[in-house]
Structure 1
């Protein structure tokens, strides 16, 4: 009887254990884990916890690719243009258009083709009005364009250079409109004074067409700086004058001749002949990849004078000559340091 009893007890024990482990074991285990009274901090996580996804705040956020960001910016720019949600100042300057279309179009020339290097950018003030005076050369006004990119991209304040241009530029069908929207305006004293009084950085090329259209044999020899109108404007507004020397522009389109009848026909100051134009046709319009340097000199202060001093012809002449000589000496120094026209 004892043997049977023991056998029956064993059978009953198995009958109790098998159903509990087979059907209710996992559920019991989960309930014990969820119950704080039975929680074991050193226990291994359950299967459910092991495969659970991380919390949203802990998930890795992969930034969108660059092309997607660029596309978003372009679409947003187009939306604002179509909706008319942009500002234009009294001179027609459209800063958003310049930053998103004009300057990006010029940067490949600036960075890859001419490989422009700037010197003395710390002389350009971060804020307030100033007058930047530079030499002009190269048959086409690429030096003005590259100066605009240099001031915007290399200066910590990313300032816009408001160029003063001849009336011929604004009469051109497309170029004139683009120039005005890029910040250029007519080279007249009232406009220059109003811009500088408003705290703008104004750029002027006093040589004008005499400088940009001079023969290649006269390269880097400054022409006459006019009557000093830019000095008078600086004296009336009390802004500093920043001499700027540009090396490299003379070699982009070496002018070796001029066809005067064609110049008169098109109403231009000259019709240039270069080693590649018009011999190679449209391909001759590609500028030579000379190495450029743009140096900004120490500002010449005018705030120690009164606006009435702008009417003193001797003072205006002396300051004009000082600016011209500063630029000329800087050109000679940069040229003496240059080893090769195309390699620098």
Structure 2
């Protein structure tokens, strides 16, 4: 026997309508408040899920760094290493010391050590270039980015700092940081310590054989044809070019087909104004001259500090040599003509820069 209204919808409706309606308050005695610990756990879980979602969106938007043969790494998860936090100069110095200790460095057939030059020699020279002489450069676009070229410059200053400043200009203004391989006199390589550093910085003897080998290797070669006659001339003869010798540099350029780039330096003549020469002392020391300046030897070592003159270095338009026949080098008249052309180009450039200069120390 079935119970009344068990399967009848009408009976259910009648039963509901016949009962007294009850209102259950949200937080009244008919419903318990949610447990505080459970609610806190739910809130924490929801907060963690929201944070994970936000992090995933950030990682999706962040660029991905790829390394050959390695998995994809997100910058958001990358942590800098201790080495990354070191200054670049310190990291370079540490790498240099490590290479010296392990012997992991190269020296070419002329004794040139590129790493030592860039780490130890160029930084102090660059400070002198930028802060003391405040060098302005012109005609940098005439320097080749690759391939050999012969740079021919005037020489002055009693101490050949002009060659060093020209090397800094070439390295810092030519893309790729090319090195100027200078041709120096025998005396440079006979001096203790100086000769060793000259070799390591890329200098070699001023002879045609070495010049041609360097040019064929595609190097930038520097030559100062005035030699000691240029740097040792009296202050009264400043900016007047001395004789360029027999034109050996032209022969090297003709044999290799390398262009000749005239270089003019203004400002070096005044760093050590030479007003005298102690010839006896020069002979005793084996020097071409012993200069007397307004400050040296009167002030001793302080007098050896160069005056802070304002410099300019201009690289002229290249003079091509690859248009001549192979036997052109045997034509003394052609060699003389090209030598005179280079010398005249430098002299005119010096006069032009001097006419534009308003002050020795301000430019």
TM-score higher than 0.5: yes
Counterpart of 1:42? Answer: none
The 1-side partners of 2:129 and 2:43 are apart by: 71
The counterpart of 1:81, out of the listed 59, 80, 100, is 100
Structure 1 unpaired stretches of 5+:
1-5, 32-45
Q: Secondary structure at the match of 1:126?
A: coil
What do the CA deviations read for 1:75-104 (whole angstroms, capped 9, x no partner)? Answer: 111101111111111000011111111111
Residue 167 (str. 1) matches residue 183 (str. 2):
no
In 2: Cα distance, 1:94 partner to 1:29 partner: 66
Q: Which residue of 1 aligns with 2:140?
A: 121
1:271 matches 2:290: yes
Please tell me whether the aligned partners of residues 236 and 306 of structure 1 are also in contact (alpha carbons under 8 angstroms). no
Partner of 1:256: 275
- Is 1:226 aligned to residue 226 of structure 2? no
TM-score, length basis structure 1? 0.87
User: Matches of 1:58 and 1:194 in 2, distance apart?
Assistant: 49
Matched, 1:91 2:134: no
User: Which residue matches 1:155?
Assistant: 174
Deviates most, 304-313 or 93-102 = 304-313
The C-alpha deviation readout for 1:114-146, integer Å capped at 9, x for no partner, is 000000011111111110000000000000000
Q: Tell me if structure 1 keeps the 8 A contact 2:135–2:313.
A: yes
Structure-2 separation of matches of 1:27 and 1:220: 88
Q: What is the alpha-carbon root mean square deviation over aligned residues? A: 2.6
Residues 156-305 of structure 1: matches in 2 within 5 Å? 156-305=175-324
- Structure 1 stretches of 4+ with a deviation exceeding 2 A read 13-16, 20-31, 46-70
Q: How many residues align?
A: 323
Unaligned runs of 5+ in 2: 1-20, 60-73
The whole-number CA distance in structure 1 between the counterparts of 2:178 and 2:79 is 34
User: Is 1:325 matched with 2:344?
Assistant: yes
Cα drift, residue 215 of structure 1: 0.2
Give the counterpart of 2:358 among 333, 339, 343. Answer: 339
Distance 1:218 1:85, change over 3 A: same
Describe the SS at the equivalent of 1:255.
coil
* 2:326 aligned partner: 307
Question: Aligned-pair distance for 1:59?
Answer: 4.1
Distance 1:65 1:80, change over 3 A: closer
- SS of the residue corresponding to residue 329 of structure 1 reads helix
Q: How does 1:129-140 map to 2 (within 5 A)?
A: 129-140=148-159
Does the 8 Å contact 2:92/2:119 carry over to 1?
no
Structure of larger gyration radius: 2
Secondary structure at the residue paired with 1:243?
strand
Query: Please, which moves more after superposition, 327-336 or 48-57?
Result: 48-57
Helix, strand or coil for the counterpart of 1:71? helix
CA contact (8 A) 1:238 1:307 kept: no
Distance across 1 between alignment mates of 2:39 and 2:29: 15
Most deviating of 143-152 and 154-163 = 154-163
Structure-to-structure mapping, 1:21-40, within 5 angstroms: 21-27=35-41
- 1:17 to 2:32 alignment: yes
Residue 110 of structure 1: SS of its match in structure 2? helix
Write the deviation string for residues 50-83 of structure 1: whole angstroms up to 9, x where unpaired: 6779578474979788753322221111101111
- 3-state secondary structure, aligned to 2:170: helix
